[in-house]
Amino acid sequence: MKSTAILINTSRGKVVDEAALIKALRYKKIGGAGRDVFEKERLPTDSPLLKMDNVDLTPHIAFLSEESLDECTYMSIENVEMFIKGKPQNVVNP
C-alpha cells in the first residue's frame, strides 16, 4: 500500500492483522485506518489504536437505527400474516 493509503475495515476483525496494522501506522507505512471491528471484540482499553491520531474507530452498529428496528418488526409481522394466509414470503429454503 502507498504511504498515503487509508485502510478501512468494516467486515470482520480478524481480516486485518492488528499488530501489523499498528506497526504500519506507527512507522507511517500507511496514512491511516478506519475500523469498526477488531481482532478482539471489545477493543482492549490499552490498545495503541485508541491513542493514534491517524485512526478513526467507531462501534460496529451501523445497521442499528430506529428505522431499521421498525423495518425488521414490520417485516416479521408481515411474514407471519402471509404465512397464516398460506402465502409465505421471504422463503429461504422452500
Catalytic residues: 12, 41, 60
The grid coordinates of residue 29 equal 507505512
Q: Are 5 and 30 in contact (CB under 8 A)?
A: yes
Which residues lie closer than 8 Å to 62 by C-beta, 6 or more apart?
Answer: 10, 36
Give the number of residues written for the chain. 94
First-to-final CA distance of the chain: 46
